[in-house]
Structure 1
Amino acid sequence: MKSKDLLGIFPDKTAEQISLLKYSKTSCGVDFLLNIADSTEKRGWFDIDTRYKTDFFEFYFFRKAAGYLLLGGKKIELHDQMVLIISPYQQQEWHVEMDQLTYRFLVFQEEFINQFLSDKYFMYRLQYCFQNDLPTCFSMEEEQMESFVALLRQIQQELRNPIADSYHLIVAYLYQFLLLLNRFYTHLFHLPSALPLNNHAYQYKQLLEKNICQKIRVNDYAEMMGVSRVSLNKAVMREFGVSAAHLLKQRLLQEVKNDLLFTNLSVKEIAFRLHFSEPNHLMRFFKQQTGQTISEFLKETKS
């Protein structure tokens, strides 16, 4: 059986020849849209295709790692004692030797936790989810990592021997895991942690994920939400510490980088797809946001 089959995850080729790996709990052999394993128990799927994306969240705790990963338009060097978080539908390309990796991982679909929580923006409240500004990979001391891995072991125990209340206990452990990791991440990167006054910032973040290829102005999103641009900007600044325009530009930049790295589209075609009025505007936007020309970025990333 191929490594991807071990978790019930199967590829679905898109027009761009990028596999979409879909989570299937039936094929996975568990009753939940969630699974946990150690690399010695189940191998990952990093070596199945050159490029792919998934329809689930992925959390990796690497004790030993080498190689690199192209993710979100960035080149990530893997190393020992590293945590990596990948949100759904991010395009990935791994360059690793499987026998050099030792890790424990958690994967789950957003639906799993949404079935239990009434907060539809919960995953968007977590600073490391759908993050385009800061890295979602970071070092973690062995003792700290072990505290998170211990929570994953408790979830795994319930998965392997489910009883009547296992679902509720698994969600409780997962909720604790996600919130504690968010505290760690927020502290690590000195991010705001004030109680939210409303959901505008999280709704905006959700809409960016769904509409960035069609709408590239903050005013468009404010109109969709029925709020003023000023109110939206205040909400985003309070929750994320950056302006609404900055959040949009970073998400748009990620889309541009993905197209450059993972498709055969020309700069002209990318500009048209993302509604830039002309290619020169796209190239100027890229240089302003990265300090590099597109050619310099491609040379550096693929070297």
Structure 2
Amino acid sequence: MITESAQKIFEIHIEELSSWGHRVHKHNFFEIVYVEEGEGFQCINQHEFAYRAGNIFLLPPLDCHSFKINTLSRFYFIRFTDHYFLKNDGLTNYKAWFDRIAYILANYNKVPGDIIASERERNYIIQNIKAIHQEYLLSDNYSEDIISGAVASILNILARSIEKKYVEQANEVDNRFGEVLRYINTNITDSNKLRIPVLAEKFNISKSYFSEYFKKQAGVSLADHILKSKLRIVETKLLHTDLSLKEIAYQLNFTDSSHLARSFKKVYGMTTKEFKNSGQVCCA
């Protein structure tokens, strides 16, 4: 197994393949894959998903993947590193974009494979991917800003699609619970908004019953859910940023880095350093 590295902080290319000649590999960049033609299977971290023309996938860094191609396939690959979100051009808040990506990755494992919610959104993303490719080839003084805007649009739609499926799954149990989870995830760094009296009033549930209600729907207590939701974001920031543990703890409202370190080890059974250095199991 190899780890593939992007040569630039952003690149896009098209490949037409009848077989997958690459080894199973990880990479150190984000990748959006659009399948324009063909069908087969994509293997991601030991799980196989059928692909066909029109599918769109998001592959986070350190996911291990390969393709099993059944018919001649044409792929668009958009690759960008975490540094793409750290630019300071005065036009886009790239830190906010990385926080959005952290939310996507923290919940992506709940809804693997193609996650586009509607054909309208799918067509919009496809148009943006093709526009990005044309601008990438043109590469004039305006292209970088145009590409940044198009990537931002794609990520917004992906975030909305992931959240929508996540909420719909929760609503299958109780028609309010998906909205409860959406609110908690949206305000995960604001402890005041996650207090039981605030949540109970917002969702018209008795304060004395809210804890029982939440545990009945989620299978875990509210405090455990909030902690584990924060730690999933910690995972993303450990793997995909150069932030110190102290900075991550501050962003997510842990008391300090020691509090975060203890919480992480208690839940994951390893230190944050061990987690950052650990590999992920690949598909064969």
Q: 1:205 aligns with which of 195, 212, 235?
A: 235
Measure the CA separation in 2 of the matches of 1:75 and 1:146.
24
- Is 1:21 the counterpart of 2:7? The answer is no
Alignment match, 2:166: 189
- Is 1:36 the counterpart of 2:4? The answer is no
Q: Count matched residues.
A: 210
Q: Is the 8 A contact 1:66 1:78 kept in 2?
A: yes
Q: Which of 1 and 2 has higher RCO (CA within 8 Å, sep 6+)? A: 2
| Runs of at least 5 residues in structure 2 that lack an aligned partner in the other structure | 168-177, 191-228, 241-251
| Compared CA separation, residues 68 and 36, structure 1 to 2 (3 A) | same
| Compared CA separation, residues 176 and 93, structure 1 to 2 (3 A) | closer
Measure the CA separation in 1 of the matches of 2:136 and 2:33.
18
Q: Is the 8 A contact 1:73 1:258 kept in 2?
A: no
Alignment match, 1:259: 281
| Compared CA separation, residues 171 and 209, structure 1 to 2 (3 A) | same
Measure the CA separation in 1 of the matches of 2:25 and 2:282.
15
Alignment match, 2:41: 68
Measure the CA separation in 2 of the matches of 1:184 and 1:89.
22
Alignment match, 1:176: 153
Alignment match, 1:285: none
| Compared CA separation, residues 64 and 152, structure 1 to 2 (3 A) | closer
| Runs of at least 5 residues in structure 1 that lack an aligned partner in the other structure | 1-17, 26-32, 211-220, 234-243, 263-303
Alignment match, 1:274: none
Alignment match, 1:145: 122
Measure the CA separation in 2 of the matches of 1:154 and 1:97.
28
CA RMSD of aligned residues (A): 4.3
Alignment match, 1:236: none
Measure the CA separation in 2 of the matches of 1:57 and 1:44.
21
Measure the CA separation in 1 of the matches of 2:139 and 2:282.
45
Letter aligned with residue 174 of structure 1: V
Q: 1:60, CA displacement in angstroms? A: 1.7
Among the aligned pairs, what percent are the same residue?
11
| Compared CA separation, residues 139 and 185, structure 1 to 2 (3 A) | closer
Q: 1:131, CA displacement in angstroms? A: 4.7
- Is 1:134 the counterpart of 2:134? The answer is no
Please give the per-residue CA displacement for 1:13-33, whole angstroms capped at 9, x wherever unaligned.
xxxxx12222114xxxxxxx2
| Compared CA separation, residues 224 and 95, structure 1 to 2 (3 A) | farther
Q: Is the 8 A contact 1:85 1:136 kept in 2?
A: no
Alignment match, 1:90: 63
Q: 2:77 aligns with which of 93, 101, 105?
A: 105
TM-score after normalising by structure 2: 0.57
| Compared CA separation, residues 206 and 259, structure 1 to 2 (3 A) | closer
